[in-house]
């Protein structure tokens, strides 16, 4: 297996508005030294609470958000070092699907043009070939060619997500970043899209960087899972290890909080791990473990020393008291 993507110490900072007229600009560190790698043909899931930096990590990886530091080795080449034109050319290999099927398609363009646009921009093929490819992609994602000339608002949410997927596939990318691709869809429609993504992965050998807050979805789609908390990866493991033997207390809390059909009120289900409160502010992250304030296992050392990712079995966990 070849490594497609190798991210090292990726860091992203956002400058916030000045405090007062002459005050300093506080920095928000949305992604703090995140490292992960992704093999060709596999799917890496990123889960975590809202604001934990999932989207920012993914966007910085494909340079849609500027990184403050780190390396993104894509097929042996550091994307962060490319000049603008070289990066523009690279975009054919890294594509993106958004969460919101309503806001990610230009409402004033016909869907055939939306799907064809990447080929126009990259100057791939003749006009005839481009048109044929659009029709082929439409079939591939389960849309009808007679819908080619419609506008986005004439489609349902699930169909729009199929259009985004078709657009992302136009240039034969190697990596597809999916940012909550099914969160805005009803479960029945969600299943259609998840099956489509699974089929494309198998047929086209795509690799996914797959962001979701739905653990069931991640378990279904991903081969490996990274759990983020306040801009850091706190646990990273192959799928089954993560779901069957979560090591980090936050992962455990997340798993026990996710609603599941197996837990019945009638059977007197009571949640085993309860955590209270909200995550701390990313503007002044705590010195020690970011989860310490909410963690049932926290000790003094947790508040003082920041844990780093250490291997435990197949997993890598950043916790002083894992397991």
Partner 1 sequence: MSALLQIEDLRVTFNTRYGPVTALDSVSLSVNAGETLGVVGESGCGKSITALSVMGLIPSPPGKIAGGAIRLAGEDLTQASEARMRALRGAEMAMIFQEPMTSLNPVFTVGDQIAEAIMLHQKVSADQAFRDAVALLDRVGIPSPDRRARDYPHQLSGGMRQRVMIAMAVSCRPRVLIADEPTTALDVTVQAQIFDLLNEIQRDFGAAIILITHDMGAISEMADRVAVMYAGRVIEQGRADDVLDLPQHPYTRGLISCIPALGKGEDTLREIPGVVPPLHMLGAGCAFADRCAHRAPRCDSEKPLLQAHGHHPVACHAVAEGRI
Partner 2 sequence: MTEATEFKAESPAREAWRMFRRNIPAVAGVIMLTGIVLATLWGTFFYGGNPYEIVWAPHEPPGVTPEFPLGTDYLGRDIFAGLVAGGGPTLAVGAAAAAITMVIGVSLGALAGFYGGWVDNLLMRITEFFQVLPTLLFAMVLVTLFSPTLFTIAMAIGVVSWPQTARLTRAEVMKIKELEYVTAARAIGARNRRIIWTVILPNAAPPLIVSATLTIGVAILFEAGLSFLGLGDPNTMSWGLMIGSNRAYILDAWWPVTFPGLAIFLTVFSVSLIGDGLNDAFNPKLRER
Ligand X SMILES: Nc1ncnc2c1ncn2[C@@H]1O[C@H](COP(=O)(O)OP(=O)(O)OP(=O)(O)O)[C@@H](O)[C@H]1O
Binding-site ranges for partner 1 (CB under 8 A): 49-50, 156, 158-159, 186-192, 194-195, 198, 213-217, 219-221, 239-240, 243, 253-266, 269, 271, 274-278
Residue 151, CB-side half-sphere exposure with 13 Å CA sphere: 6
Work out how close the CB of 223 gets to partner 1 at its nearest, in angstroms, rounded to a whole number: 10
Number of residues in contact with partner 2, rule: CB under 8 A?
30
Q: Report if residue 171 touches partner 2, rule: CB under 8 A.
A: yes
207-211 and 175-179 as β-strands: parallel, antiparallel, unpaired? Answer: parallel
Only segment of 58-66, 133-141, 262-270, 311-319 that touches partner 2 (CB under 8 A): 58-66
Going by C-beta distance under 8 Å and a sequence separation of 6 or more, which residues neighbour residue 257? 271, 273, 275
Work out how close the CB of 157 gets to partner 2 at its nearest, in angstroms, rounded to a whole number: 14
Q: Could you give the angle at the alpha carbon of 47 between the alpha carbons of 263 and 259, nearest 5°?
A: 15
Work out how close the CB of 161 gets to partner 2 at its nearest, in angstroms, rounded to a whole number: 12
In whole angstroms, give the CA distance from residue 177 to residue 97. 6
Segments in the chain forming alpha helices (H): 54-61, 84-90, 111-122, 127-140, 157-169, 187-204, 215-221, 239-244, 249-257, 300-304
Q: Report if residue 164 touches partner 2, rule: CB under 8 A.
A: yes
Work out how close the CB of 285 gets to partner 2 at its nearest, in angstroms, rounded to a whole number: 25
Question: Is residue 253 a contact partner of residue 279, using CB atoms and an 8 Å limit?
Answer: no
Q: Give me the phi and psi of 207, to 5 degrees please.
A: -110, 140
Residue 151: contacted member of partner 2, ligand X, partner 1, none (CB under 5 to 8 Å, by partner type): partner 2
Residues making contact with partner 2 (CB under 8 A): 59, 62, 64, 88-89, 91-92, 95-96, 98-100, 103-108, 117-118, 121-122, 150-151, 153-154, 164, 167, 170-171
């Amino acid at each position: 297996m070849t490594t497609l993507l190798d991210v090292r110490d990726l860091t992203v900072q956002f400058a916030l508005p000045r405090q007062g007229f002459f005050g300093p600009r506080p920095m928000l560190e949305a992604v703090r030294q995140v490292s992960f790698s992704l093999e060709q043909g596999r799917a890496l899931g990123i889960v975590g609470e809202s604001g934990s930096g999932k989207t920012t990590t993914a966007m910085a990886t494909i340079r849609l958000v500027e990184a403050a530091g780190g390396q993104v080795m894509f097929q042996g080449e550091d994307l962060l070092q490319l000049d603008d034109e070289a990066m523009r050319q690279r975009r054919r290999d890294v594509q993106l699907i958004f969460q919101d099927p309503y806001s990610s398609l230009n409402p004033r363009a016909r869907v055939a043009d939306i799907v064809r646009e990447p080929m126009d921009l990259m100057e791939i093929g003749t006009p005839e070939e481009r048109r044929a490819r659009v029709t082929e992609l439409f079939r591939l994602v389960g849309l009808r060619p007679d819908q080619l000339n419609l506008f986005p608002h004439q489609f349902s949410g699930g169909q729009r997500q199929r259009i985004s997927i078709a657009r992302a596939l136009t240039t034969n990318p190697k990596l597809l970043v999916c940012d909550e691709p099914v969160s805005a869809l009803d479960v029945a429609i969600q299943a259609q899209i998840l099956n489509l993504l699974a089929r494309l992965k198998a047929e086209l050998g795509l690799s996914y960087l797959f962001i979701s807050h739905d653990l069931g979805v991640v378990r279904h789609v991903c081969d490996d899972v990274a759990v983020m908390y306040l801009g850091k990866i706190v646990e990273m493991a192959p799928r089954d290890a993560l779901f069957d033997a979560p090591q980090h207390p936050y992962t455990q809390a997340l798993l026990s909080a996710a609603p599941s059909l197996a837990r019945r009120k009638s059977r007197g289900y009571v949640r085993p791990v309860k955590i209270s409160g909200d995550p701390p502010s990313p503007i002044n992250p705590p010195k020690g473990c970011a989860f310490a304030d909410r963690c049932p296992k926290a000790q003094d050392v947790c508040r003082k020393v920041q844990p780093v990712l250490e291997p435990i079995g197949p997993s890598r966990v950043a916790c002083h008291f894992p397991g």
